[in-house]
Amino acid sequence: MGHKILVGIDCSANAQRALDYVGTMLRPHDDILVTLFHVLIAPQPDIYPDRQQRERELEKRHGRALRQLEAMQARLVTLGVPKDRITMKIQVCAPEDNVAVTLLEEQRRGGYQTVVVGRRGMSKREEFLFGSVSSKIIREARECTVWVVQ
């Protein structure tokens, strides 16, 4: 079956660094399965009051996320991870939902042994006010290894 690794992907340079780390560390291992996971936050109704407008915006965001995942998959392949070992997944969540919670739900549901995320360069004040995906994952992850790449 192989070791299952869940890599949280967003549009940041930190996600790219996390991906490069995964590719470099796992290149020599042929028993890994990598899932590139993007949490897509649905458009907010107060910003897009019209349902059709929200659906068009969600489609646009989904397309951008898919293109990003495809680029990340190609990057992993150039680093030596076989393409047939890489899966791409996009999970849409409501604006009020939490990205870290969505990642952890996927980790539990999919039985991933490792979760990898990039760490944004937040100040302690920003992290206190807004929270941090990586900090929340470190605090709440169970029965898995967590790699936070900066």
In percent, the amount of the chain with pLDDT more than 70 equals 91
What values do phi and psi take at 87, rounded to 5?
Answer: -120, 145
Q: What mean pLDDT is reported for the chain?
A: 86
pLDDT tens track for 78-110 = 999 999 999 999 999 887 788 899 999 999 999
Domain residue ranges in the chain:
3-149
109 three-state secondary structure: helix
Q: What residues have CB less than 8 Å from 68, skipping those under 6 apart?
A: 9, 11, 38
15 pLDDT more than 90: no
Dist. CA 71–CA 43, nearest whole Å: 24
Task: Write down how long the chain is.
Answer: 150
Q: What is the reported pTM?
A: 0.87
What values do phi and psi take at 14, rounded to 5?
Answer: -65, -35
pLDDT tens track for 52-74 = 999 999 999 999 999 999 999 99
Q: Which of 55, 37, 31, 27 is nearest to 105 (CA)?
A: 37
Dist. CA 29–CA 32, nearest whole Å: 6
pLDDT tens track for 113-133 = 999 998 764 444 444 434 578
| Superfamily grouping for domain 3-149 | HUPs (3.40.50.620)
